[in-house]
Chain A
């Protein structure tokens, strides 16, 4: 499996990462190196082996249905570039 320049540009755009034209060329090479390296895994036959989801035997922890958090609007809004009337204020997203 490998990626071309167009695919990398598309992925970068979807991830909202700016990659310049010059960077694009080298990024394609780097990504393909990584993909080749990961590709080695396919040499192992994994038919009938369940996907491993954790390196230690662990179960998903469950939480009781209780209100234990929230109620600190100032802290939540503190890093927002702009906040007004208790809302996050962002450039209008529809015309």
Chain B
């Protein structure tokens, strides 16, 4: 079912495609030995190759090739054993060569597809058209001087993967889910850090609208959108704008637009005349990029487990619900934390994996995520170590503390940073499982509340909860509920 947008004159369908630029994780640049580290002083990570000094020649970085292939494999794409580098010609102050080395006709990675998860629980396959390797440009700063633009070439020549989708998306939600999916894939594959704040990932968003069943409409391209939420906002506002223009009898210009974060809308970019005449031609400085199928197979063998496979494994082997498994694998760091915690808990408690999966998953998703959200920190900054967390879970598993007390101890851990065992010891929170002690207490309570006992025996069995409550009250919540039940029921009924 395709989602349709209602206009004044009838229904419209949106067609969306994304070009995602993902910065490759590598030590040095695509064609030079200068560093790629983020945040260095301007122009300190620039070689004569990056600055395009005459006579300098590009030499390809083998790791960038491997990273592109890994990403292609992660997306289930065809890997092209032979690809060609081309020059994309245009002039801009942050592009010293006067051209970008890119891949035009023969990219390193061909077609494939990724599966996106939608909110209603359904999935959809989105086609990937291609992935190619190219150079990033330098960075222009327009706001540092009244009449000058400052240019920093540190980023010039850093390897980018441009991942081009097929126009398979129809809604802002699908576009957001696709962007999120690609980010997850590259982060799991270890090929891009997915850090949008630092510009490691950004998307060009192509949107057009048409009447259902009709040929494609004219599209616009909104450049450099650097968050999932913004991508969704761009799509939403472009769909609305284009429908309005068309329904008023206007036409859509094929143009480049910019996203204005302040208004949540797009506006036309000052049109650079003939800017799109890139005059691609094969770069004469670079021979075709060729490698063997064995090279690809070797990389495939060493691929880490990706989110989808991890999710399936969590469901099958650990008996975690598909929804919870999805939550755990959404961010690689969360999945890593969960697996480390599960392993530590298995070691400490001596219980099998399959028995502990749900308990640990529920704790991570419920207690830990809740606490992290309140603190406003990510899981990598969790104030609770794996060691302390597993200790807490084991205290619960072996019956030393009840689930309710465990929550109390966890609160305390967050505040004090102390180990759960120390907290339990200090505050005397150990669960009372001593049957003699509890039995004596029950006798006392029954004796003190003879009237209620009579009522209960007279058929008012809702009072059972009252007696449990009294026991809990007397022990400060520390009585083992199972033991209480075992002892209380026969005494009352008897």
* Chain A residues with a Cβ under 8 A of chain B: 10, 13-16, 53-54, 58-71, 73, 75-77, 82, 84-95
- Which stretch from B33-41, B169-177, B395-403 is at the chain A interface? B33-41
Q: Give Cα A93–Cα B91 distance, bound, in whole angstroms.
A: 11
Kindly list 20 other residue pairs between chains A and B, CB separation below 8 angstroms, not including A63-B28, A88-B153.
A13-B274, A15-B89, A53-B282, A53-B287, A60-B289, A63-B33, A63-B62, A64-B62, A67-B33, A69-B34, A70-B45, A84-B148, A86-B152, A87-B42, A87-B141, A87-B144, A89-B149, A90-B148, A93-B93, A93-B149
User: Given the complex, which residues of B lie within 8 Å of A82, measured CB to CB?
Assistant: 148
Q: Give Cα A95–Cα B149 distance, bound, in whole angstroms.
A: 10
5 A-B pairs with least C-beta separation: A68-B33, A70-B34, A65-B63, A69-B33, A87-B150
Shortest distance between the CB of B286 and any CB in chain A (Å):
6
Q: Give Cα A85–Cα B41 distance, bound, in whole angstroms.
A: 10
- Which stretch from B46-54, B69-77, B214-222, B440-448 is at the chain A interface? B46-54
Whether a CB of chain A sits under 8 angstroms from the CB of B290 is: yes
Given A14-B279, A76-B153, A86-B43, also A70-B65 (CB < 8 A): no
Give residues 277-292 of B contacting A (CB, 8 Å): 277, 279, 282, 286-290
In this complex, the member of A64, A67, A71 whose beta carbon has the largest number of chain B beta carbons within 10 angstroms is A67
Shortest distance between the CB of B46 and any CB in chain A (Å):
5
Whether a CB of chain A sits under 8 angstroms from the CB of B92 is: yes
Shortest distance between the CB of A85 and any CB in chain B (Å):
7
Shortest distance between the CB of B447 and any CB in chain A (Å):
79
Whether a CB of chain A sits under 8 angstroms from the CB of B61 is: yes
User: Given the complex, which residues of A lie within 8 Å of B289, measured CB to CB?
Assistant: 60
Q: Give Cα A52–Cα B142 distance, bound, in whole angstroms.
A: 44
Given A77-B43, A85-B42, A94-B142, also A70-B35 (CB < 8 A): yes
User: Given the complex, which residues of B lie within 8 Å of A73, measured CB to CB?
Assistant: 41-44, 46
Given A60-B290, A88-B43, also A67-B145 (CB < 8 A): no
A-B contact count (CB 8 A): 136
User: Given the complex, which residues of A lie within 8 Å of B288, measured CB to CB?
Assistant: 53, 60
In this complex, the member of B28, B59, B89, B145 whose beta carbon has the largest number of chain A beta carbons within 10 angstroms is B28
Secondary structure of the B side of the interface?
A: loop
**Residue on B nearest A60 in the bound complex, by CB:** B287
User: Given the complex, which residues of A lie within 8 Å of B290, measured CB to CB?
Assistant: 59-60
Shortest distance between the CB of B65 and any CB in chain A (Å):
7
Secondary structure of the A side of the interface?
A: loop
Quick one: which of B45, B47, B62, B91 contacts A65, CB cutoff 8 A?
Answer: B62
Shortest distance between the CB of B224 and any CB in chain A (Å):
14
User: Given the complex, which residues of B lie within 8 Å of A10, measured CB to CB?
Assistant: 274, 277
User: Given the complex, which residues of A lie within 8 Å of B48, measured CB to CB?
Assistant: 69, 75-76
Quick one: which of A62, A69, A92 contacts B65, CB cutoff 8 A?
Answer: A62
Given A65-B63, A69-B32, also A87-B27 (CB < 8 A): no
Give me 24 A-to-B residue pairs in the complex whose CB atoms sit less than 8 angstroms apart, sorted by A's number. A53-B282, A59-B290, A60-B286, A60-B287, A60-B288, A63-B59, A65-B64, A66-B28, A66-B33, A67-B28, A67-B33, A69-B32, A69-B34, A70-B50, A76-B46, A76-B48, A84-B148, A86-B152, A87-B152, A88-B43, A88-B150, A93-B140, A94-B149, A94-B270
User: Given the complex, which residues of A lie within 8 Å of B34, measured CB to CB?
Assistant: 67, 69-70
Whether a CB of chain A sits under 8 angstroms from the CB of B26 is: yes
Q: Give Cα A60–Cα B152 distance, bound, in whole angstroms.
A: 29
User: Given the complex, which residues of A lie within 8 Å of B114, measured CB to CB?
Assistant: none
Chain B interface size, under 10 / 10 to 19 / 20 to 34 / 35 or more: 35 or more
Asked if B61 and A63 make an inter-chain contact with CB atoms under 8 angstroms apart, the answer reads: yes
**Residue on A nearest B275 in the bound complex, by CB:** A14
Quick one: which of B32, B41, B51, B93 contacts A90, CB cutoff 8 A?
Answer: B93
Asked if B147 and A92 make an inter-chain contact with CB atoms under 8 angstroms apart, the answer reads: yes
Given A60-B60, A66-B27, also A86-B287 (CB < 8 A): no
Q: Give Cα A88–Cα B42 distance, bound, in whole angstroms.
A: 9
Asked if B35 and A67 make an inter-chain contact with CB atoms under 8 angstroms apart, the answer reads: yes
User: Given the complex, which residues of A lie within 8 Å of B26, measured CB to CB?
Assistant: 65
Shortest distance between the CB of A84 and any CB in chain B (Å):
7
Q: Give Cα A77–Cα B50 distance, bound, in whole angstroms.
A: 12
User: Given the complex, which residues of A lie within 8 Å of B32, measured CB to CB?
Assistant: 69-70
User: Given the complex, which residues of B lie within 8 Å of A69, measured CB to CB?
Assistant: 28, 32-34, 47-49
**Residue on A nearest B273 in the bound complex, by CB:** A13
Whether a CB of chain A sits under 8 angstroms from the CB of B151 is: yes
Shortest distance between the CB of A19 and any CB in chain B (Å):
16
**Residue on B nearest A11 in the bound complex, by CB:** B279
Asked if B151 and A54 make an inter-chain contact with CB atoms under 8 angstroms apart, the answer reads: no
Given A14-B279, A66-B27, A69-B49, also A84-B33 (CB < 8 A): no
Q: Give Cα A85–Cα B147 distance, bound, in whole angstroms.
A: 15
Shortest distance between the CB of A58 and any CB in chain B (Å):
6
**Residue on B nearest A73 in the bound complex, by CB:** B43
**Residue on B nearest A67 in the bound complex, by CB:** B35
Interface residues as binary, B76-91 with A (CB distance below 8 Å gives 1, 0 otherwise):
0000000000000101
User: Given the complex, which residues of B lie within 8 Å of A94, measured CB to CB?
Assistant: 142, 149, 270
Given A14-B277, A62-B65, A88-B150, also A70-B33 (CB < 8 A): yes
Shortest distance between the CB of B290 and any CB in chain A (Å):
7
Q: Give Cα A92–Cα B149 distance, bound, in whole angstroms.
A: 5
**Residue on A nearest B98 in the bound complex, by CB:** A16
User: Given the complex, which residues of B lie within 8 Å of A75, measured CB to CB?
Assistant: 48
